Amino acid sequence: MFDGPAEGTLRHADAGEWEEAAEHAGRTAGDTGALTARTAWPVIMVLYLQGRLDAAESVRERVAHPPDPADDVADRALLAAWAASVAWARGEVSACRLAADRALSLARPGSDPRALAAVHTVLALLAAAEGDRRGNDRHYALALDAAVAAGDRTQQLRIRANRASQRLEEGDLTGALAELDEALGLTSGGAEPHPAMVGLAQHNRADLLLRGGRPRAARDGFRAARTTLQRAGAGSVAYPLTGLGESYELCGDLPQARAAYEEAVLVAEATGIAQALVPALCGLARVLAATGDAGAVPTAARALAASTGLTEAAARVAVGWAVLTAEPAVARDHAERAIGLARTGRNPAALADGLELAAMTHPGAEADPLLADAARVWTDIGDPVAVARVELARARRNAGRTPAASRIIAERTLLALGVESATGTRSLAPSLRPQESPVTVRMLGSFAVLHGGESVTAATWQSRKARDLLKLLVARRGRPISREAIGEALWPGENAVANRLSITLSILRTVLDPTRSVPPDHYVVTGPAGVAYDPHTLSVDVDVFLQLAAAGAAALGAGRTDEARALLEAADAAYAGAVLDDEPDLEAVRPLRDEARTGYLAAMRALGTACAEAGDTDAAVRAWRRLLDHDPYDEDGALRMVDVLTGSGRHGEAARRYRTYTTRMRELGVRPAPMKRRI
């Protein structure tokens, strides 16, 4: 039986009596006498697990040099391995490498398995920092085999928790979950593993929930990990504090996120755990940048200065977000370097972050391919919050085929995930939100061009032909129309109208952009194929309506009933009336008027169906009523409404609706269908 505090540390650690082991380690750390490798390494191990890195280093410095003859090779290997772990946690990569190499030279195959486990764990961390993922995998496999052979449950838990973190970085959520199940299974039966490793595994499980789109459940997990680590007095509590910050950040609660990140920074600084400091500083920098706080840049710079190979990509992205508004070119450089690091380091989450940042440094259309790439990576990883965030950024920039529909879907998805899309960081930051188009065209109901919601007056137009030209262009929905066709439509039967068209086109461009704040072809484009408006820059209400109606019908056809309902209800709200209802004889817009009317009738049929499938009778009846208001002779809509009313027990209303239906059919000379349930 060991008698002194140094010897007692190992005895209690082997028994899973970690409070007693910590007490003995603390007493040893408070002494000043020389130590042997055998008496020092258990103390350094316990102090490392507690996050007392300075104390651990001071104990290492008290080991006699040259080694005490009583020390065997395994003890010297364990001393070097745990000293390497301390250097790693402090961010001292060179010192970590020296100690790890020394440990490896001492702990050869066939020697003490506990020493081999400790050595290969550190070598795995170093391999990851150097971007050597194969080496990382190999050393963790060797470390785990050795830890199992030694029966060291604390090292087994540490290795599995670290491998789960690695799987998360790679986007392998299934692999991470398997590792964590094994890790937390070590907490029952046999000697208790160190609670700091238990807390780390709890943190990683919460991180898994966060990446899987469950930020609120993740928050509970981070709180549990924080409690475990606080009770153990472990400095690694900075990790779940950072996780709490990110869960608040993703949900758009930036004040709470800032508070959690700031606490994590304080803890990491106090304990000297550089590997925990960098993520906390990165998160804090993102929040400060999103709220316009001048502290964002120095905070991100601190993160980059403290980063190692594992964290440099994230730190560079944080710097990019911090400087983006003032120095987009610098932000782009950091994004590109982060993308390169992430690709070589097999870190898809950092890659997607870098792509998202890079997109924000490019104007309009140039940003979309980068955002689309980021969305694909986030999709592969399985992070629904990040996917919806990027898709919303794309929609806000009018990217994609149906930006109006994409925006509703993304906002609805984020809301369902507990994320407030009006606030946030990364591409959701309010300062990065593109301004709504200053000019919009109203075609549904009556014609108008609006600047900031205010209609352009007739006097401003100067020319009726300029108004007619815009109507003609909108009727083509972005397809070019030849100058000859425009001339014939505006000045039928007249020759030599090229000069008149140029003047009319100039007037139209002036009405759309009176301050000349954008290039002439920003809203109206001319080219060899003719003249067209750009639907990506000029917002037209009928375009928005048709996008929503088509997307809603597609969602319903794919079985996404809730999504379909949201889109179709938005389409209903957008349809303010027939296209140029006050100009029924305007032949040029007749095809667009017919298309919009047909689209509205189809949308109301689909909306009624979606509401009926959801069991919302009132909403279904409202949709079919709107359908019949626009087309009183729609037999299918009338009968579906009667069927739903009958099925919900509203027989009197069903009978009234059926009588109205029979009247309409007789007006057409059509025999009414009998009143019966058909669905």
At residue 500 the predicted structure's pLDDT band, cuts being 50, 70 and 90, is very high
User: Between 498-512 and 464-475, two packed helices, what is the crossing angle to 10 degrees?
Assistant: 80
Q: Are 91 and 312 in contact (CB under 8 A)?
A: no
pLDDT in tens, 182-215: 999 998 877 889 999 999 999 999 999 999 999 9
pLDDT in tens, 371-406: 999 999 999 999 999 999 999 999 888 877 788 899
pLDDT at 679: 40
Q: Which residues pair with 454 in a beta bridge?
A: 451
pLDDT at residue 468 is higher than 90 = yes
The torsion angles phi and psi of 585, rounded to 5 degrees, stand at -95, 5
Q: Distance (Å, rounded) from C-alpha 59 to C-alpha 38?
A: 12
Q: Which of 544, 350, 353, 298 is nearest to 443 (CA)?
A: 544
pLDDT at 363: 81
The torsion angles phi and psi of 419, rounded to 5 degrees, stand at -110, 130
User: Between 37-50 and 18-30, two packed helices, what is the crossing angle to 10 degrees?
Assistant: 110
Lowest mean pLDDT among 59-68, 78-87, 462-471, 534-543: 59-68
Q: Is 141 exposed, middle or buried (0-12, 13-18, 19+ CB in 10 A)?
A: middle
Q: In this prediction, what percent of the chain has a pLDDT beyond 90? A: 79
pLDDT at 504: 95
pLDDT in tens, 290-343: 999 999 999 999 999 999 888 999 999 999 999 999 999 999 999 999 999 999
Q: How many residues in the chain?
A: 679
Q: Which of 535, 604, 530 is nearest to 571 (CA)?
A: 604
Q: Which residues pair with 450 in a beta bridge?
A: 440, 455
Q: Are 248 and 423 in contact (CB under 8 A)?
A: no
Q: What is the mean pLDDT of residues 543-564?
A: 94
Q: Which of 330, 343, 270 is nearest to 304 (CA)?
A: 330
Residue with tokens 């949709």: 623
Neighbours of 345 (CB within 10 A): 23
pLDDT in tens, 160-184: 999 999 898 888 899 999 999 999 9
pLDDT at residue 9 is higher than 70 = yes
pLDDT in tens, 242-252: 999 999 999 99
At residue 435 the predicted structure's pLDDT band, cuts being 50, 70 and 90, is low
| Max intra-chain CA distance, the chain | 113
Assigned token pair, 90: 């402090």
pLDDT at 359: 95
Q: In this prediction, what percent of the chain has a pLDDT beyond 70? A: 98
Spatial CB neighbours of 326, under 8 Å, sequence gap ≥ 6: none
pLDDT at 398: 81
Q: Are 183 and 163 in contact (CB under 8 A)?
A: no
Residue 527, H or E segment = strand 524-527
DSSP-derived secondary structure for 133-194:
HHHHHHHHHHHHHHHHHHT-HHHHHHHHHHHHHHHHHTT-HHHHHHHHHHHHHTTSSSSPPP
Helices (H), 534-650: 541-557, 561-574, 590-613, 617-630, 635-647
pLDDT at 177: 94
pLDDT at 1: 42
Residue 441, H or E segment = strand 439-442
pLDDT at residue 350 is higher than 60 = yes
- How far, rounded to the nearest angstrom, does the alpha carbon of residue 584 sit from its chain's CA centroid? 47
The torsion angles phi and psi of 91, rounded to 5 degrees, stand at 80, 15
The torsion angles phi and psi of 516, rounded to 5 degrees, stand at 55, 50
List of domains in the chain: 5-212 (1.25.40.10), 286-432 (1.25.40), 439-537 (1.10.10.10)
pLDDT at 678: 43
Q: What is the mean pLDDT of residues 106-120?
A: 87
Cα angle at 397 between 394 and 401, to 5 degrees?
A: 65
Q: What is the mean pLDDT of residues 564-581?
A: 95
Q: Distance (Å, rounded) from C-alpha 479 to C-alpha 472?
A: 11
pLDDT at 438: 82
pLDDT at residue 607 is higher than 60 = yes
Assigned token pair, 379: 């999709």
Assigned token pair, 291: 């709220």
Lowest mean pLDDT among 24-28, 261-265, 365-369: 365-369
Cα angle at 239 between 234 and 245, to 5 degrees?
A: 135
Distance in angstroms between the alpha carbons of the first and the last residue of the chain:
82
Lowest mean pLDDT among 62-66, 79-83, 135-139, 208-212: 62-66
> Residue 66: is the preceding peptide bond cis (ω within 30°)?
yes
pTM exceeds 0.85 for this model: no
Mean pLDDT of the chain: 92
